[in-house]
Amino acid sequence: MLNVQSSMFNYQKKSTHIWFGMIRRDLIISWILILVAAAFGIRIIYLMQFSASPLFCNPVGPDVEEYDLWAKQIIAGKLIWNYVHIHAPLYAYALALEYWIFAFNHFNVRLFQLIIGLASVIPVLFSLRIIDGKWTVHSLLLASIWAVYPPLIYYQAEYISEALLLPLICTSIYLLYRGERDEIRHSTWFAIAGVAGGLAIITHPMSGLFVLGEASYLLFLQKTKFKFKLKSSFRFLLAASLVVAPVALYNYKVLGKVAPVQANSGFNFYLGNNPDANGTCYLRPGPEWNKVHQQAQKIASAAFVSKDQFFLSESSYFIKHDTFYWANLIVQKALFTWNFRELTSGADPAPLKYFTPIQNFSKWTFALVAILALTGIFMNIRHSSFLYSYRHFLILIFSFWLVQTIFVTSGRYRIAMLPGIFVIAAFIIEYIISHYRSSLHNHLLPCAGIAAAIVLLPSPDISFARENAEADTLLGEAYMKSGDLLSAEKHLLKASYSLANWSRSYNLLGLLAEKKNNPASAEEYYRKAIECDGSDPYGLMNLGVLYSARRNFTKANECFKKAFQMDDKIADLHYNYAVFISKYKGNEILSERHYWKCLEIDPSHRKALNNLGVVKMVEGNYGDAGKYFSHALRIEPSNPELIVNLAASEFAQDRRAEAEKLLKKALGLNPGLRSGRELEKIMKGTSR
């Protein structure tokens, strides 16, 4: 079998790792204890700082909002999706489980993710134990970097797939090392490694290239007999495929065509390969984003192809007819992957990423670990013992670097590279410590210079003003949801000045004006939203709600109808129309249909669930009413009004004990709740 014990290099004849046996035991124990305390301490401090942001309890923005919504839909009872999402599914289910366990306590959910992210270092440490043959200072240095590296803490606390991807990748790498070492149970280890790799793919499809890279290594580069290589590669790839296959087949059934893990792959490729691309996620949510997607949908529909197919054809045309520019773009992306900046992707524009003092102070940290890692790679690129020892970590780095070079790069997308980067960075730190008097520094410094140039010199085209405006819209919406209307108005007004042609800011300002009981101002903002984007149904929907509150039913109905003509797949539109026709037209049958349509689009729509429960109570169908109230409570388990509604349905079904228990809980949350006190009087009156 394979010999994975050696970690010495041909040119380092004096070099050995610093074994634990060479250091006093009490110093090692003290180092470990301090490290554990620092790791937990910095994460708690970070969460305390982050909790001052309205985004802490109100996930708003691309990706995080979508995962949050999907997780809530799962909790509400929609266990299987009925359309192909733009994200892979596994993290949404993991987040739903976290929400369920911690009852939507965002501090505990985020802390749990941070602990899982911290624990991901364990399989990496055991991988180094296999490589080095003993516990070494290399392991302690790796653990030290992992414990305190701020960008990792930021991303692991976010509601994004990378929070789950990292532990799966680390586990797969350890199992691969273990399988190569274990002569007896190697088949089992390779199969489990494949399962972890498959789970990584259905967490984020970027992992697919990592899995293929590992399968190729097992087949072609393993230092063993061909029969063994074939079996190990086959078992690894088969296990991964068996995990991915159910998702791919179900997506095919839902969509009617191939969509292995998620939708939107065509746009993701187009984002990094088109005449306007600059190597980053340059096209941000807003008017430009809307224009690109609307135009793509229009052309794709006319050509009877999917929007993804249209984007892929546009990229293919660009690559074929402007090959030189595309090649330059590829080089840019290859360099930007290593850039010291945490480039934006999703809901992480710079003002949000650096909201906390910890993150704001540590903007430079990727530069440090990246320069160290690249230095280690450049120094040892010709030394087979280095390449062999750290093979799986190098495959990890290379595969995710290549994916970003092909598609598009960002700070978030390179998170999966960090285990490999940390391992090599810790290796080179240990090397410097053990050779600080050696002339081999003459070899290190040129490599470090090249690495520094790669990390520090390339300058991506970043619009900080655009990022600030986007951050203002997200903060404004989150502040409004948290009830801080003054802060919400401040940020939304700033956003409307910076992005005067974005309807989103005006719609939010209109909602804010309604909350401040200023309907005239709200109407003005909604009309501005419609002027900015005549194809945006939200401005019309909001105007419809406003007119219905003024009892101008004719205008309200016109607005709702126009909004439906633009897009009839908006849950809030069906909900608001259901309220309108129920309250102002008295058409309960049609109202109920629209509540159903709302829940078909978004099964976690809490208000629709509650209102349907009320409808069933009025009809005397108390059992169904209780089911709707229960589903609504899964989404907001601490909402006292929902608890009272469920208590009323239980009481109506002669389940007095359960009703009293629920009522006590509701009044414990809000002793002055009017509906709770009224139900209490009714229950006391019937007990005499």
- Output the pLDDT for position 16: 52
Average pLDDT over residues 312-317: 94
Q: Which helix (H) or strand (E) holds 456?
A: helix 441-456
- Paired tokens of 401: 């670097």
- Output the pLDDT for position 10: 37
- Output the pLDDT for position 229: 81
Nearest to 462 by CA among 409, 513, 518: 409
- Output the pLDDT for position 19: 58
Exposed e or buried b per residue across 506-523, where buried means at least 16 C-beta atoms within 10 angstroms of its C-beta: bbbbbbbbbeeeeeeebb
CB atoms inside a 10 Å sphere around CB 17: 22
pLDDT above 60 (res 22): no
- Output the pLDDT for position 224: 72
CA distance 447 to 453: 10
pLDDT above 80 (res 17): no
Structural contact between residues 458 and 339, judged by C-beta atoms closer than 8 angstroms: yes
Cα dihedral: 635, 640, 645, 649 (round 10): 90
Q: What is the tens place of the pLDDT at every residue in 380-437?
A: 999 999 999 999 999 999 999 999 999 999 999 999 999 999 999 999 999 888 877 6
CA distance 651 to 663: 10
Question: For the chain, how big is the Rg over CA atoms in Å?
Answer: 28
Decide: residue 391, CB within 10 A, 0-12 exposed, 13-18 middle, 19+ buried. Answer: buried
Exposed e or buried b per residue across 658-669, where buried means at least 16 C-beta atoms within 10 angstroms of its C-beta: ebbebbebbbee
Domain boundaries, the chain: 24-456, 604-688
List helix spans (H) across 483-550.
Answer: 485-498, 503-515, 519-532, 537-549
Q: What is the tens place of the pLDDT at every residue in 128-145?
A: 999 988 888 899 999 999
**Is the pLDDT higher at 308 or at 202?**
202
Question: In angstroms, how far is CA 35 from the centroid of its own chain?
Answer: 28
Question: In angstroms, how far is CA 333 from the centroid of its own chain?
Answer: 22
DSSP 107-125: HHHHHHHHHHHHHTHHHHH
Contacts of 131 (CB under 8 A, 6+ apart): 4, 7, 177, 389, 390
CA distance 424 to 393: 9
DSSP 297-326: HHHHHHTT--HHHHHHHHHHHHHHH-HHHH
Mapped onto helix, strand or coil, the DSSP state of residue 19 is strand
Exposed e or buried b per residue across 441-477, where buried means at least 16 C-beta atoms within 10 angstroms of its C-beta: eeebeebbeebbebbbebebebeeebbebbbbbbbbb
CA distance 119 to 164: 12
Average pLDDT over residues 646-654: 92
CA distance 63 to 73: 15
pLDDT above 50 (res 350): yes
- pLDDT bucket at 306, cuts 50 / 70 / 90: confident
Mapped onto helix, strand or coil, the DSSP state of residue 356 is coil
Average pLDDT over residues 77-95: 93
CA distance 286 to 470: 8
Average pLDDT over residues 194-205: 97
CA distance 66 to 158: 12
| Angle CA 398–399–405, to nearest 5 | 85
Structural contact between residues 412 and 156, judged by C-beta atoms closer than 8 angstroms: no
CB atoms inside a 10 Å sphere around CB 82: 10
User: Which class is domain 604-688?
Assistant: mainly alpha
